[in-house]
């Protein structure tokens, strides 16, 4: 085996490789002491340029920069210039970890509104660390002030045991979101490290692809019965930019759980299907995903559940479908409805979702897909209460139900994918219905769609 000295001599004399590669081979041969040689020869980290500050909100900001070589991304920041980068007095260090990149981006969260922050950036690779502190002056930015968007007439409507709707007005058109918590504290929306299994905070966001409005409505689902929730509403002028929030917290308490609850998942391959215009074949109930939205023409999807056993005279108090999002797509509007039948059959090539759409209920609703950055993840539809109630009122008891979704825009690539039974039965669509039977005298609360 060649010694490190002989290996260097061989490489330099025979191939005239750059000294950088020779040192890399030497480091491998002697156990990785590369940092020592780099320092001795005066190597430095990647050059930094184009430091920029983006998406400044009352409580967050994004710092970006470019480097001429790959490296990690570190931002040291704080409100007191002289103490940077000490950890006291609010000064902090944020890093992306050892993610090697040329285009660097670090998001700073939980800042104070209308406050000036100073910062410097660093990138490190195997050659060393380069820090850009703006020639000793440090970079700076000031967070936005709360109150640039006025919220009014905040109301909580349609409160049930597990859901509620929040509506409000703004003085100018705005995108909308609601932050809610079982404690009267709030966090940025959406967070980068939200874990729904361990974090009680949850952010429900209105579809950012829907044009801004001065009258916002956000539905909160999957709440706990008899629980007090605190929330604040947010708004902003840009897609995904929920810059402002209302100062005074608002709270409501969900109702006790009453009546009977149905939670069913698709349990057969031919109980979920789609028809995609232009595809060959256009109809399928065996694909692993249900394609939704529009391609050259609107796509129609259908899901069927049986074994409901909802008796005649029942009052529906809750109804929605939970879909598992298999791939993130572009958001847009769909039409939701139900097949107008008390006991619809499974899908087939002779009875496709578009065939069922022709015989849908009078009830239908336009649904803007909620925006989610978590894929895979679940999305809950708008309330189906009035549609299910229409079936019960028209036919008495119902044992099975077909839920239909149809795109409304004929444009390419406006699609999303829901997990189908054939992909994984445990990820198939779930139907939730809560109802009060005719013998129950409790006065229900009915959602107004």
- According to the model, what pLDDT value does residue 226 have? 86
Residue predicted with more confidence, 446 or 354? 354
Q: Is the pLDDT of residue 277 over 80?
A: yes
Mean pLDDT across 298-320: 92
What pLDDT band is residue 279 in, cutting at 50, 70 and 90? confident
Residue-range domain boundaries for the chain: 4-40, 48-142, 154-253, 260-436
Tokens of 245: 């929030």
Q: How far apart are CA 315 and CA 435, in angstroms?
A: 5
220-241 pLDDT, tens digit per residue, is 877 888 888 888 887 776 544 4
7-66 pLDDT, tens digit per residue, is 444 444 444 444 444 444 444 343 333 333 333 344 566 788 888 888 777 777 888 888
Q: Is the pLDDT of residue 128 over 50?
A: yes
What pLDDT band is residue 385 in, cutting at 50, 70 and 90? very high
199-222 pLDDT, tens digit per residue, is 344 555 555 455 678 888 887 877
For residue 264, the Cα-to-chain-centroid distance in whole angstroms is: 24
How many residues in the chain?
Answer: 449
Mean pLDDT across 269-279: 88
Q: Is the pLDDT of residue 417 over 60?
A: yes
Mean pLDDT across 122-132: 77
- According to the model, what pLDDT value does residue 122 have? 84
- Percent of the chain, pLDDT > 70? 69
Q: Do domains 48-142 and 154-253 have the same CATH topology?
A: yes
Q: What mean pLDDT is reported for the chain? A: 74
Lowest-pLDDT range, 98-112, 216-230, 378-392, 426-440?
98-112
Confirm or reject CATH 2.60.40.10 for domain 154-253, answering yes or no.
yes
CATH homologous superfamily of 48-142: Immunoglobulins (2.60.40.10)
- Considering the entire predicted model, what is its pTM? 0.51
- According to the model, what pLDDT value does residue 159 have? 87
- According to the model, what pLDDT value does residue 440 have? 53
What distances in angstroms separate CA 266 from CA 250, 270, 402, 431, one per listed residue? 38, 9, 11, 8
Tokens of 48: 């930094």
- According to the model, what pLDDT value does residue 37 have? 36
Mean pLDDT across 317-338: 80
Mean pLDDT across 235-259: 71
Q: Mind spelling out the 3-state secondary structure of the chain?
A: CCCHHHHHHHHHHHHCCCHHHHHHHHHHHHCCCHHHHHHHCCCCCCCEEEEEEECCCCCCEEEEEEEEEEECCEEEEECCHHHCCCCHHHCEEEECCCCCEEEEEEEECCCCCCCEEEEEEEEEECCEEEEECCCCCCEEEECCCCCCCCEEEEEEECCCCCCEEEEEEEEEEEEEEEEEECCCCCCCCCCCCCCCCCCCCEEEECCCCCCCEEEEEEEECCCCCCCEEEEEEEEECECCECCEECCCCEEEECCCCCCEEEEEECCCHHHEEEECCCCCCCEECCCCEEEEEECCCECEEEEEEEEEEECCCCEEEEEEEEEEEEECCCCCEEEEEEECCCCCCCCECCECHHHHHCCEEEEEEEEECCCCCCCCEEEECCCCHHHHHHHHHHHCCEEEEEEEEEECCCCCCEEEEEECCCCCHHHCCEEEEEEECCCCCCCCCCCCC
Q: Is the pLDDT of residue 355 over 80?
A: yes
- The residue among 204, 148, 213, 231 whose CA lies nearest residue 175 is 213
- According to the model, what pLDDT value does residue 431 have? 95
Q: How far apart are CA 289 and CA 296, in angstroms?
A: 19
- According to the model, what pLDDT value does residue 244 have? 67
- According to the model, what pLDDT value does residue 173 have? 77
Range ranked top by mean pLDDT from 94-98, 375-379, 445-449: 375-379
167-173 contacts at long range (C-beta below 8 A, 24 or more positions apart): 167/215, 167/216, 167/217, 167/218, 168/215, 168/216, 168/233, 168/246, 169/214, 169/215, 169/216, 170/214, 170/216, 170/235, 171/214, 172/214, 172/237, 173/211, 173/212, 173/213, 173/214, 173/237
Q: Is the pLDDT of residue 78 over 80?
A: yes
Residue predicted with more confidence, 276 or 240? 276
**Which residues does residue 273 pair with via DSSP β-bridges, in sequence order?**
302
Q: How far apart are CA 425 and CA 286, in angstroms?
A: 12
What pLDDT band is residue 161 in, cutting at 50, 70 and 90? confident
What pLDDT band is residue 334 in, cutting at 50, 70 and 90? confident
CATH architecture of 260-436: Sandwich (2.60)
Lowest-pLDDT range, 42-46, 116-120, 132-136, 362-366?
42-46
What pLDDT band is residue 328 in, cutting at 50, 70 and 90? low
- According to the model, what pLDDT value does residue 80 have? 81
Backbone angles phi, psi at 108, to 5 degrees: -100, 125
- According to the model, what pLDDT value does residue 79 have? 85
Contacts of 115 (CB under 8 A, 6+ apart): 79, 142, 143
């Amino acid at each position: 085996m060649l010694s490190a000295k002989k290996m260097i001599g061989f490489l330099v004399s025979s191939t005239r490789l750059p000294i950088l590669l020779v040192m890399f081979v030497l480091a491998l041969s002697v156990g990785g002491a590369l940092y020592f040689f780099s320092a001795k020869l005066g190597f430095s980290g990647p050059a930094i340029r184009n430091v920029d500050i983006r998406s400044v909100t009352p409580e967050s900001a994004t710092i970006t920069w470019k480097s001429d070589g790959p490296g990690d991304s570190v931002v040291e920041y704080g409100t007191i210039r002289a103490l940077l980068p000490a950890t006291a007095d609010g000064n902090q260090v944020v890093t992306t970890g050892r993610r090697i990149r040329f285009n660097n981006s670090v998001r700073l969260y939980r800042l104070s509104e209308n406050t000036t922050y100073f910062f410097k950036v660093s990138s490190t690779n195997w050659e060393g660390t380069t820090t850009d502190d703006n020639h000793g002056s440090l970079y700076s930015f000031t967070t936005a002030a709360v109150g640039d968007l006025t919220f009014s007439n905040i109301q909580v409507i349609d409160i049930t045991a597990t859901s509620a709707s929040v509506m409000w007005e703004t003085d100018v058109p705005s995108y909308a979101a609601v932050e809610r918590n079982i404690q009267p504290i709030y966090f940025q929306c959406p967070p980068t490290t939200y874990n729904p299994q361990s974090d009680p905070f949850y952010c429900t966001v209105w579809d950012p692809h829907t044009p801004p409005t001065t009258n916002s409505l956000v539905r909160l689902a999957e709440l706990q019965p008899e629980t007090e929730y605190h929330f604040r509403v947010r708004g902003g002028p840009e897609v995904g930019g929920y810059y402002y929030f209302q100062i005074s917290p608002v709270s409501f308490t969900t109702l006790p759980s009453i009546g009977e609850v149905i939670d069913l998942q698709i349990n057969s391959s031919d109980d979920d299907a789609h028809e995609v215009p232009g595809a060959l074949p256009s109809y399928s109930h065996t694909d692993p995903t249900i394609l939704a939205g529009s391609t050259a023409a609107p796509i129609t999807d259908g899901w069927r559940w049986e074994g409901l056993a909802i008796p005649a005279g029942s009052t529906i108090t809750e109804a929605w479908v939970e879909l598992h999002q298999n791939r993130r797509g572009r958001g847009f509007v769909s039409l939701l409805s139900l097949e107008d039948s008390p006991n619809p059959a499974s899908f087939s090539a002779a009875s496709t979702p578009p065939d069922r759409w022709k015989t849908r209920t009078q009830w239908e609703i336009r649904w803007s897909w909620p925006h989610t950055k978590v894929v895979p993840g679940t999305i809950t539809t708008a309330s189906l209460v009035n549609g299910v109630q229409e079936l019960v009122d028209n036919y008495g008891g119902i044992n099975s139900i077909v839920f239909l979704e149809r795109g409304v825009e004929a444009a390419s690539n406006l699609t999303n994918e829901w997990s189908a039974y054939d992909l994984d039965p445990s990820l198939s669509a779930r139907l939730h219905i809560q109802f009060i039977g005719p013998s129950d005298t409790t006065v229900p609360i009915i959602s107004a769609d």
